[in-house]
Structure 1
Amino acid sequence: MTIIPSPKRPENYADRIADCDNALDGAVRAIFEAALAAGWSSNEIAHSIRMLAYRCLQVVPNNKELNPQAGQ
Structure 2
Amino acid sequence: MGSMKKSSVVLLLLLSFFLFSAGNVVEVEGKWCEKPSGKFKGSCFHNANCANVCATEGFPSGICETFRCMCRRQC
- TM beyond 0.5: no
TM-score (norm 1): 0.30
TM-score normalised by structure 2 residue count: 0.29
Q: Which structure carries more strand by proportion? A: 2
Larger radius of gyration: 2
Structure that is richer in helix per residue: 1
